[in-house]
Structure 1
């Protein structure tokens, strides 16, 4: 008398694999579309920090002009020197970026870049 051994299947089936692959595809597409916006944000953040701590810049117009010059170097397109909020020793900027994901879906990201003390 031979006993048939039962083998338990472990892992993911074909339909489960396709669902996981679809989810990763959607997340990857969103990440690739949002990546340039975040790269620009980090560039803006670095520029705002550098300008806020520059002792040569004395007034608001010099700070805005310096930001506009640096904007051309770093290829910043979403923010200009007019958008800066200049306070007592601090420089900040708030802006929104809209990214088209599909024809009927957009992703709205709020950015807030402020100088660090």
Structure 2
């Protein structure tokens, strides 16, 4: 049940697009456990990208892989956006999924 609260809070933070949400959104990856919460949080940290974003996403991705949470693909897609020079040239379904999440994020911000 807690994951629903985290996901709804994440989308609310995205919609509000206020700098006060940047740190809490990044810190939320500390309690992110996979496919239920990682996609929304990934869209949120890209919305609130700062100097720690790459480190936060990479840290979560490593934990996700070690614990087999199942959300490393969407996080890798975010890393490819943040580090285009490091990315290989092929797109994956996770890149398409992240594009969709970011489209929703922009729509929420436009309607807020």
TM-score of the pair, normalised by structure 1 = 0.28
Q: Which structure has the higher relative contact order (CA within 8 Å, separation 6+)?
A: 2
Structure exhibiting the larger radius of gyration computed from Cα positions: 1
TM-score of the pair, normalised by structure 2 = 0.29
Please identify which structure carries the higher strand content: 1
Please identify which structure carries the higher helix content: 2
